[in-house]
Chains A and B, each alone.
Chain A
Amino acid sequence: MSALVIRGGRLFDPASGRDERGDVLIADGVVRAVGGALAADGAEVVEAAGCIVAPGFIDLHAHLREPGFEQKGTIATETEAALRGGFTTVCAMPNTEPTPDSATAVEGLLKRIATDARVRVLPVGATTAGRAGERLAALSELAEAGCVAFSDDGAPVEGGGLMRNALTLAGALGLVVAEHCDEPSLSGKGAMHEGAVSERLGLAGQPAAAENAAIARNLELCELTGGRLHIMHLTTARGVELVGRAKERGLPVTCEVTPSHLFLTDAAVAGDGPAPAYDTSAKVNPPLRAEKDRRALLAGVNAGVIDAIATDHAPHAPEEKLCEFDQAPFGISCAETALATVTTLAARGELELDMALRALTLGPAEAFALGNHVAGIGTLAEGAPGDVTVFDPEERWTVDPSRFASKGRNTPLAGMELRGRVRAVVVAGEARRIEEAAHV
């Protein structure tokens, strides 16, 4: 038996509301005791004084790139990045090659995960075959193979009828359809948010209305079918309002926001200098929006309207982003900066830390009903999986992408000083990585 004691931290468990100083005892991969002073013979000790000890973070939206796009990232590199970012569970998005739209493809993926993953990886299956938006994927087969949700990732299910059927059938399987809400005829070739900055830079923009219109349609279909809808990477003020109202009416809808959209606006594309920078590392889909949207997203997390903070971690090879702005791929590598942006926002008073932590743990677990797959996930209580993240909310550090574990160095935060850093991460009872500072 292997035992581990996390000692002297501020224990935070959103499920029970626990927020007190104490220890956590983990043995055989499971949390055995929480609170007070705990000890076990021969147990490894992780000192957590001055740190917050939370259930391991859960990322509902990560791009591991493997199989098919190993130049951007692999299961090994991107789960290592997740681990360093404090995530003990990541849901792997299906924009890989092959697409996980059949049990065979998922089984192949699970084999690679079993050998290479540094954290718990839960696969998301495709909603439609080949993510082509023409006919549904083998949903029941995918569910049986272990998929925890369905999504066509960056390809919105354009046909309303198809989306209706997806929600109906996924709902019957007890799984959520996670949707990138976008009306392509409105977003067109937009490379960034449509607004003052896009007009200034002469770049084609995606209006917020493109996202809002799709959210509104999908909420209607959610109501029509009763199937569970998860809105991925919400970015607009109006979107927060629409989801909030739908929740008030009792619709089975959840949503997520990325740390990038909480932290940055479309101004990041132009940069800080006197002349516009056209920073391709700030190119993401849906795009970084206006300040009023960012504020609404923060308020949405603080009010609990937004269930999860999910990274949409999207690594790209450096040369892929080193090009003209309109030709660069969308995506930000942010697994390793996600927590720090959240804690920096909390330090500024823009985010409430308890709500943000809820959105990194229990919120995502509930959104995808992950407890059906891993009992007690997202909580810090006796019997919960031994997934724990220990972080110092005060430590200041400067983002240096060259030190990322991720293959993706595409971050608009390079050179920025952030506050808050992961010190130790325990995955299934194993302290897989402990920062030097926390080693005693």
Chain B
Amino acid sequence: MVSIEPAAAEAAPDTTTDTDTDAAPPQAEALTPPAAVWTRKDLLDTDTLSAEEIALILETAEAMAEVRERPVGRVATLRGTTVVTLFYENSTRTRASFEIAAKALGADVINLAAAGSSVGKGESLVDTVRTIEAVGADVLVMRHPSSGAAALAARHTDASVVNGGDGAHAHPTQALLDLYTMRRHAGDLAGKKVVIVGDILHSRVARSNLWALRAAGAHVTLCGPATLLPRSLRALAGHEGPGGCEVTSDLTEALAGADAVMALRLQRERQEQGLLPSLREYVRQYQVTEERLARANPGALVMHPGPMNEGVEIAPEVAHGLRSVVEEQVTNGVAVRMAILYLMATARRR
């Protein structure tokens, strides 16, 4: 377990000098480094993270959660670090979560909104990213509607890129905060059964969770309407034994023995695209209800990456019920994102 000495951390604003910007600030030294060391420039997905790297993030997040629980709730560890958020898609909670996380570490935060797509409206994504780097960004948090956009950005900047969601590809910080939340309640996830239900095909949350949960040894069942199920993910994840993956359209069956169920937001445009006969049909078969949850293990967690369509993918009484950890996910998101920003910024200083 890592820990931050409150005294050192809170004294930091006075002790950090301008001449000392290259060296790790004293507050950073107050962290007891775990065995693994973060060496990555970017965090684009969970798919290539080792179990050790995931453990490092989650342990660091524990320390950040402690910081958040203190009266002041912030340190100056990342003073002098500039974090830029660049969002090409609307987002309230992810963006706010990153901003609060960065500020809680003492970083400077600049929020840039990019309406619509970059191409055809002037500046290309690559040019935008280069510009942001040129003005002095250390860490770029990016959300973009195109799968692979974060990887493209990362290839063209020396700044560290944190993927805040790219198309249907990846949302690694969400997956890591989900893992963190599950671990807090369920402990070791090896052999645990997690059900993700909804529009899996278009879900970056489902994909990144699949890889993260696989690394943690959990078994994942992906469940949703047949038109919204990427069936090949089963083979990609390996479907035998722990760390495996099942793909099914039968939610009642899927929930049997589940330790956690994660409902995904259903975009209404799926109905317009003809992928669903109607919202009613979806609700009938895939809404997470108390009745269906009866098949899950006692104490099974109910999760949602937000924002929720209550009454669509999740029944209101479940969303706010005793098993729901939805609000806690949001709170944990700040600690996990602090951990990620901390690890990436300190890796840059090395």
Contact = CB atoms under 8 A, between A and B. Distances in A.
A196 B201 CA distance: 12
B112 interface: no
Interface residues of A, number: 19
A203 B167 contact: yes
Interface string A308-338: 0000000000010011111100000000000
B90 to A, nearest CB: 18
Contact of A202 (B120, B169, B236): B169
Contacts of B44: 275
Given A196-B232, A196-B235, A275 B48 contact: yes
A324 B125 contact: yes
A278 B155 CA distance: 11
Contacts of A275: 44-45, 47-48, 151
Contact of A199 (B146, B166, B232): B232
Interface in B105-159: 117-120, 124-126, 144, 146-149, 151-152
A324 B119 contact: yes
B263 interface: no
Pick the most buried of A199, A203, A274, A326: most chain B CB atoms within 10 A of its CB: A199
B151 to A, nearest CB: 6
Interface string A195-214: 11001111100000000000
Contacts of B231: 199
A191 B76 CA distance: 45
B168 interface: yes
B148 A325 contact: yes
B207 interface: yes
A196 B236 contact: yes
A276 B232 contact: no
Contacts of A114: none
A344 to B, nearest CB: 28
B256 to A, nearest CB: 25
B93 to A, nearest CB: 21
B207 A202 contact: yes
A268 to B, nearest CB: 14
A278 B167 CA distance: 12
B204 interface: yes
Contacts of B147: 201-203, 278, 325-326
B51 to A, nearest CB: 15
B170 interface: yes
Interface size class of B (residues with CB under 8 A): 20 to 34
Contact of B204 (A202, A277, A319, A324): A202
Main secondary structure of the interface of A (DSSP, over half): loop
B222 to A, nearest CB: 11
B232 A201 contact: no
A323 B148 contact: no
Interface string B209-253: 000000000000000000000111101100000000000000000
A266 to B, nearest CB: 11
A199 B247 CA distance: 13
A325 B44 CA distance: 16
A324 B168 contact: no
Interface in B45-99: 45, 47-48
Contact of B168 (A203, A276, A323, A327): A203
A190 to B, nearest CB: 13
Given A201-B148, A275-B47, A276-B151, A326 B232 contact: no
Contacts of A326: 146-147, 167
Pick the most buried of B120, B169, B236: most chain A CB atoms within 10 A of its CB: B169
Contacts of A327: 117, 119-120, 146
A202 B172 CA distance: 14
Contacts of A319: 124
Contacts of B232: 195-196, 199-200
A203 B233 CA distance: 13
Nearest to A279: B148
Nearest to B124: A323
A421 to B, nearest CB: 31
Given A199-B201, A323-B119, A277 B151 contact: yes
B151 A323 contact: no
A325 B47 CA distance: 19
A324 B230 contact: no
Contacts of B235: 196
Contacts of B201: 199
A322 B148 contact: no
A432 B235 CA distance: 53
Pick the most buried of B126, B201, B232: most chain A CB atoms within 10 A of its CB: B232
Contacts of A203: 147-148, 167-169
Interface string B281-324: 00000000000000000000000000000000000000000000
B152 A278 contact: yes
A323 B236 contact: no
A323 B48 contact: no
B117 A199 contact: no
A273 B170 CA distance: 17
List the 3 closest pairs (A to B, CB-CB), nearest first.
Answer: A278-B148, A202-B168, A199-B230
Interface of A: 195-196, 199-203, 274-278, 319, 322-327
7 contacts: A199-B230, A201-B148, A203-B167, A203-B169, A323-B119, A324-B144, A325-B152
Given A275-B151, A324-B118, 16 more contacts: A199-B201, A199-B233, A199-B236, A202-B168, A202-B207, A203-B148, A274-B47, A276-B151, A276-B169, A278-B147, A319-B124, A323-B124, A324-B148, A324-B149, A325-B146, A325-B152
